[in-house]
Amino acid sequence: MPRKPPLGLARTLRDDLYKITDGQPMRWIMVGELGLRHPDTAMPTLDAALALAIEKGWMTGEGTPVHSVCLTDEGRRLGAIG
């Protein structure tokens, strides 16, 4: 049975992205910059959390695999709440 994507990490990445971008709309950040904030997290886990955040509508991603992310309006709203 496949593991469930890490919802807690997806929320943390959303909130990290909000802090990095100062909550500004359409600010794209490289995935590697988010990864630097979580050096003990394996890349497959980070990728799964980013995919979940994108699926939930908190972020938009560019590339396959995703190399850049940007918060959606919903992601910015939730990131402001923290």
**Interacting residues of 29 by C-beta distance below 8 A, sequence separation 6+:** 17, 20, 21, 68, 69, 70
Tens digits of residue pLDDT in 34-60: 989 999 998 899 999 999 999 999 999
Give the E-state strand segments of 11-77 in sequence order: 29-30, 59-62, 68-71
Tell me the sheet residues that pair with 29: 69
Provide the number of structural domains found in the chain. Answer: 1
Q: How confident is the model at residue 64 (pLDDT cuts 50, 70, 90)?
A: confident
User: Residue 77 domain-assigned?
Assistant: yes
pLDDT-above-70 percentage for the chain? 94
The per-residue pLDDT for 4 is 61
CB atoms within 10 A of CB 21: 19
What is the CATH number for 52? 1.10.10.10
User: Residue 1 domain-assigned?
Assistant: no
Task: Find where tokens 């939930």 sit.
Answer: 56
> Is pLDDT of 3 > 90?
no
pTM of the model: 0.90
